[in-house]
Structure 1
Amino acid sequence: MNKNFLPGLVFAILWATGSVAAKFGGRSADLLLLASGRFILTGIIFLPLLILQGKHRIWPRDGEWSKIFIYGLLNTTLTLGAFFASQKYVSAGISMLFLAVAPLVIALFSAVLLKRKLTRFEICGMLVSFTGLIIASFNEFKTAHVSYLGIVLLTIYMISYAAGSVYFSTLKLNMPNVAFNLWQVFIGGLMLLPFCGVLSQYHIRHFDANLLLSLIWMIIVLSVFSNQLWLYLIRQDPVKAAAWLYLVPVFGYVYGYLLLGETITPLALAGTALVITGLILSKRNRAVVPGRE
């Protein structure tokens, strides 16, 4: 079994819970404020814990601050911030379309910037998975609503996700991934905070158990554990890591059905089958990344 299979699968399973956690948390607070609070609290809670633990070097050195700032801007402020902000302006179907395109953009950026050659299996597999997601979300397009601001935000999300993934894969870090991740999440959350005011998403309607439980889940499971898995995957190969993103909406459908009472349509099942087929196809043979073993 490929050594990245289990980390990739676990990442997709956990990352998909983000949409459900956001829907629960969104009942109590605006999504962008929820996202910013999640990122900032992640740093406030876990950075001191790592310092007390004393097993890792926590404080970045001079040259590492710029890397943390750039990746935090790309991955946290622009990618996740733009996606959360967009949900106020577009329907689920439109969001799903951009989720489907994101892995293709990551593959394109890797091919152009890293000279990473795509195999025919990877190209075919991604196209099959992309088709599957479009089919799965077809019913959503019938009632889709969209605004220019929503499209701009989702475009920022998609490009920033690809740029951040490729950027991190090129970094040579002397500090542990866990420390790098916590700093970039924290700083990215601070940079996101002003946009809550700009986009008028700064309201907490209810300070209740629903809000607290959503934040706890997103901080521990998503910002800490899932992000660690993602950093590991893109460090190995951004293209192969991107392929796992196709499974995220699939698990999202399952969670929506089990936890929110949403309906799974025959088209969603057919699309899911294509996504899984494409994922298997894309991993059929091993691609070589120049300069890596």
Structure 2
Amino acid sequence: MGSSTKSLLNFLSGITFVILWASASSATKIGLHSVQPLVLSIPRFILASLLMLVIAHLFMKQPIPHKKSAWKKIAIYGFFNVGLYLGLYVVAMQEVSAGLGALFIAINPVLILLISSIWFRQPLRLATVLSFSLCMVGMLIAAYPLLGGSHASVLGLCLLLLCNVSYSAGAIYFSKQNWEEMHILTINGWQTLFGCLYLLPFAIYFYNSEANTFDVGFLGAVVWLAIPASIIASLLWMSLLRKNPTKASAWLFLCPVAGFTIASIIMKEPLTWYTLAGVVLVIIGLYIVQQMKTPALTPANKN
């Protein structure tokens, strides 16, 4: 395969990753038009976890974890990375626009770096504080014109921030554990299933039959969020990282732009100069983190 062909394939992989990853917020909003937040999440997690576990254990012949310590790690990771993170996220998406949802998720690398410094009692670098400040200001600017209408609320913004903190804590926990050569699909499959189990009692308790319509919008959102926006996007990201981590991280800069663009086209959400200014500040914040050459530039393995 020639170098030009490889470059084209890498470019197509990067563009596809950006579109799929950024589309999750809009897909979530579409699903929420039909059903309650956790009613949307539970089938999504079941489908995604079953697919990953079938691939890992049936086709790839990966061993099922047998040590108690391994199950404990998976359970803790599932709590932060799926149960708390995506549980809060889908509830928050009732209160905010799809574009803002994508923008908030984009700052995960910055939060990971900030929380990691605090967690391990490391001196906070000026670049870290500057990056975080720029991202926060950018998100507030982008959200400002939406707060007066139906596209954003203070509660929704607070929930998005909390869910990002949960994801960052989960990412740090994951990076510090010895997974004993356990395959990533095994880890993700089981931790997603654990996250589903954590949320199931809440979904049952708050279930309201009159608030749920199991239509094409619900089915499409579940399938899209489980497969293209989660599994395929994650596989593309891992492929890009293996080929060139530095170039791969550059694709993250396009995710906030893609998120707002997709939301504008599909959800008819407004785009303003506030949106542009907010996205630019977030991208600058992400660029500062990238220049620090940290491993914190891994996006959420699912949104």
Secondary structure of residue in 2 paired with 1:261:
coil
8 Å contact kept, 1:125–1:281: yes
How far apart are residue 182 of structure 1 and its match? 0.8
CA distance in 2, matches of 1:211, 1:275: 31
Are residue 68 (structure 1) and residue 74 (structure 2) matched? yes
CA distance in 1, matches of 2:75, 2:52: 18
CA distance in 2, matches of 1:14, 1:256: 13
In structure 1, the residue matched to 2:36 is 30
CA spacing shift, 1:22–1:151, aligned 2, 3 Å = closer
Matched residue type, 2:205? V
8 Å contact kept, 1:86–1:154: yes
How many residues align structurally? 277
In structure 1, the residue matched to 2:276 is 269
How far apart are residue 153 of structure 1 and its match? 4.9
CA spacing shift, 1:229–1:68, aligned 2, 3 Å = farther
CA spacing shift, 1:188–1:105, aligned 2, 3 Å = same
How far apart are residue 61 of structure 1 and its match? 3.0
CA distance in 1, matches of 2:125, 2:239: 22
Matched residue type, 1:184? Q
Is the deviation greater in 169-178 or in 128-137? 128-137
8 Å contact kept, 1:30–1:202: no
Which of 45, 65, 69 is residue 39 of structure 1 equivalent to?
45
In structure 2, the residue matched to 1:238 is none
Secondary structure of residue in 2 paired with 1:143:
coil
In structure 1, the residue matched to 2:229 is 222
- TM-score, normalisation: structure 2: 0.74
Is the deviation greater in 123-132 or in 220-229? 220-229
- TM-score, normalisation: structure 1: 0.76
How far apart are residue 274 of structure 1 and its match? 2.2
CA distance in 1, matches of 2:233, 2:210: 27
Instruction: Mark the runs of 5 or more structure 1 residues left unpaired by the alignment.
Output: 235-240
**After the TM superposition, which residues 51-200 of structure 1 pair with which residues of structure 2 at under 5 Å, given as runs?**
51-88=57-94, 90-92=95-97, 105-115=111-121, 119-143=125-149, 146=153, 153-154=159-160, 156-174=162-180, 175-200=182-207
In structure 1, the residue matched to 2:4 is none
CA spacing shift, 1:132–1:147, aligned 2, 3 Å = closer
Are residue 20 (structure 1) and residue 20 (structure 2) matched? no
Superposition RMSD on alpha carbons, in Å? 3.9
Matched residue type, 1:131? V
How far apart are residue 254 of structure 1 and its match? 0.9
CA distance in 2, matches of 1:231, 1:16: 16
CA spacing shift, 1:59–1:203, aligned 2, 3 Å = farther
Instruction: Mark the runs of 5 or more structure 2 residues left unpaired by the alignment.
Output: 1-9, 242-247, 297-303
CA spacing shift, 1:167–1:259, aligned 2, 3 Å = same
